[in-house]
Amino acid sequence: MKYRFLGKTGLLVSRVCLGTMAFGAKDWGCDRNTSTQLINRYLEAGGNFIDTADIYAGSISEEIIGEVLKDKKRDDIVLATKCLFRRGASPNAKGLSRKHIIEACEASLKRLQTDYIDLYYIHGPDPFTPLEETMRTLNDLVRQGKMRYLGCSNIFAWQILKANGISTLLNLERFVCGQYMYNLINRDVEREVLPACKDQGMGFTSWSPLGGGMLIGKYQKAEKPTQGTRFFFRSEIDGPRFWHERGFGTANKVVDLSEKFGISVVTLALSWILHDKRVTSIITGVKTMDQLEENLIVGDWDLPQEIWDEVNRETAYDLGHLSQFSNLVYRSTFGEEET
CB atoms within 10 A of CB 207: 19
Express each pLDDT in 180-197 by its tens digit. 999 999 999 999 999 999
Express each pLDDT in 56-107 by its tens digit. 999 999 999 999 999 999 999 999 999 999 999 999 999 999 999 999 999 9
Amino acid at 157: A
Q: 262: pLDDT confidence band, cut at 50, 70 and 90?
A: very high
Q: What pLDDT shows up at residue 230? A: 62
Q: ∠ CA 83-84-88 to the nearest 5 degrees?
A: 95
Question: With contact defined as beta carbons under 8 Å apart, do 270 and 295 qualify?
Answer: yes
Q: 247: pLDDT confidence band, cut at 50, 70 and 90?
A: confident
Q: How far is it, in rounded angstroms, from Cα 78 to Cα 151?
A: 13
Q: How far is it, in rounded angstroms, from Cα 235 to Cα 228?
A: 11
The question of whether 56 is a catalytic residue gets the answer yes
Provide the terminal-to-terminal Cα distance of the chain, rounded to the nearest Å: 26
What percent of the chain clears pLDDT 70, i.e. is strictly above it?
Answer: 93
How many CA within 13 A on the CB side of residue 226? 6
Instruction: Evaluate if residue 165 carries a pLDDT over 70.
Output: yes
Q: What pLDDT shows up at residue 127? A: 97
CA distances to 81, 85, 92, 139, 175 from 130, rounded to whole Å, are 22, 17, 15, 15, 16
Q: What pLDDT shows up at residue 330? A: 87
Q: Which domains does the chain have, with CATH numbers?
A: 3-334 (3.20.20.100)
Q: Which of 56, 149, 180, 219 is catalytic?
A: 56
CA distances to 40, 138, 228, 265, 315 from 289, rounded to whole Å, are 11, 36, 20, 17, 29
Q: ∠ CA 311-312-318 to the nearest 5 degrees?
A: 135
274 closest CA partner among 196, 330, 213, 203? 203
Q: What pLDDT shows up at residue 87? A: 96
Q: ∠ CA 166-103-160 to the nearest 5 degrees?
A: 25
Q: What are phi and psi of 104, to 5 degrees?
A: -65, -40
Higher pLDDT, 169 or 244: 169
What's this model's pTM, rounded to 2 decimal places?
A: 0.92
Instruction: Evaluate if residue 108 carries a pLDDT over 80.
Output: yes
